[in-house]
Amino acid sequence: MTISKFPALQFHLPKAHRHLAYSTIGAANSPHVLLCLPGLLETRATFDSLLQDAEGVHGLRVVSLDLCGRGDSSLLPGDKGYTMQVYLEDIEHFIRAELMPEGKPVPRIEVLGTSMGGILGMYLACDTHNQVSGLYLNDIGLDLPWMSIYGLYDGLKKFGRLPTPEEMAVKFNVSLGAVLAVQSPSHFDLSYRKDWKGMKFGHLLSDFKGPLRLIHGSESGVCTAQQVKDVQREFPRAKVLEVAGAAHPVPFNAAVNKFVLKCLDFPDASAPKAEPTKAYEPMDMVLEAAPVWQQPSVVTDVPVEVMQSVEVMAPTQLPVAPPEAQQLTQSAEQPVNIQQPSRALSTGWLSWLKRQLLGATKK
């Protein structure tokens, strides 16, 4: 589902005529806060089942956030300008004003991020001013391989064609401008490192001392067995949950929620209060699994917890729009006449991928 069952609260951004929408459970003065950041074209509704299962856990506040142009959050002016830097700055304003207001005790803040939300979580944890004490990554590792990005793009096709931006905007409950922006080379405007394998983010956590938890699907083409090994090598004490049969990203069902709450080390948070009737549908782009992207379901040389998901969803979501991809921009205020042939977009992505593989120098 793309519309949250929880009421939408508004956080008005300073010096901006717009707001972020969020849902929350637990007391505002709780000593422990879990901030949930959705994926590229997801909304806060993706975390509804987690909020439901966390209700009644004493001392815990769980907050799920809509990024700009998604769900019930405001559009950017002209429905243009959606970038990673904008998302990061918005989240930082939210953390400092809503989660640790001046004059109040600072709670223990942990961040749970799905795919792109996990990447944003790593950037947040890199800045000590954000007071991030713990981090969960949902199906995203410390780097993002170039070939995984192209594989995700190819999986967007339905019946031999790409869905139109208008179709994606309606399906995912996001603005047309946001859909167009994530396909633009200017969308990922944060500094990062790269090599011939892909984009690298592990250096962001070089000084991070808090606990790290990784949730990944056994059939994921993004967080592969190698990605899991890399996380465990860099963070030997990281807790890892593998969801058998799940692709990208892992859906939040009862078992995943139990893992998340248990890792918070609350005495009464190890089990959900009720089994949800169904897993909630992820809200991002669809990756149709193919054998070339499938990975082994068990990493044999490191201890990995394996579970059977309650209801495995279709593999979903492009985690982050790569830099230097094909430029696609259009304002939602203008008459819409978009014709993006699959072949043309494919050519753009192939050209971008070739440049990355042949010119992989660090930024």
Query: pLDDT of 115-168, one tens digit each?
Result: 999 999 999 999 999 999 999 999 999 999 888 877 666 656 666 677 899 999
- Residue in 150, 116, 111, 93 with CA at minimum distance from that of residue 42: 116
Confidence band for 284, pLDDT divided at 50, 70 and 90: very low
Record the tokens describing residue 135, joined without a space. Answer: 């981090």
The answer to the question of residue 363 being in a domain is no
DSSP state string for 137-180: EES--SEEEHHHHHHHHHTT-BTTBPPPHHHHHHHHTB-HHHHH
Q: Total domain count for the chain? A: 1
The candidate with the shortest Cα–Cα distance to 57, out of 233, 271, 253, is: 271
pLDDT of residue 161: 77
| Residues 67/88, Cβ–Cβ less than 8 Å | no
Phi-psi region of 46 (alpha: psi -120 to 50; beta: other; left: phi over 0): alpha
Contacts of 218 (CB under 8 A, 6+ apart): 242, 243, 244, 245, 246, 295, 296, 297, 298, 306
Q: Is the pLDDT of residue 1 over 60?
A: no
In a domain, 204, yes or no: yes
Q: Collapse the DSSP code of 344 into the 3-class scheme (helix H, G, I; strand E, B; otherwise coil) and give the result.
A: helix
Name the β-bridge partners of 136.
112, 213
Length of the chain: 363
**Cis preceding-peptide flag for 249 (omega within 30 of 0):** yes
Give pLDDT, residue 288: 34
1 within a domain of the structure (yes/no): no
Q: For residue 165, what are the domain limits?
A: 9-358
Task: Quick: pLDDT tens for 176-229.
Answer: 999 999 988 889 999 999 999 899 999 999 999 999 999 999 999 899 999 999
Which of 44-58, 125-139, 149-163, 272-286 has the least mean pLDDT?
A: 272-286
- 48 inside domain: yes
C-alpha span between 286 and 265 (Å, rounded): 34
Asked whether residue 4 is assigned to any structural domain, the reply reads: no
- Please give the C-alpha separations between residue 105 and each of 16, 30, 100, 102, in angstroms, as whole numbers: 27, 10, 7, 8
Continuous H helices in 239-322: 254-263
Asked whether the beta carbons of 139 and 342 are under 8 A apart, the reply is: no
The predicted structure's pLDDT at residue 156:
62
> For residue 33, is it within any domain?
yes
- Tell me phi and psi for residue 143, to 5 degrees: -150, 165
What is the mean predicted confidence (pLDDT) over 43-69?
A: 96
- What CATH code is carried by the domain that includes residue 163? 3.40.50.1820
Inside any domain, residue 3: no
Does the residue 40 lie in any domain? yes
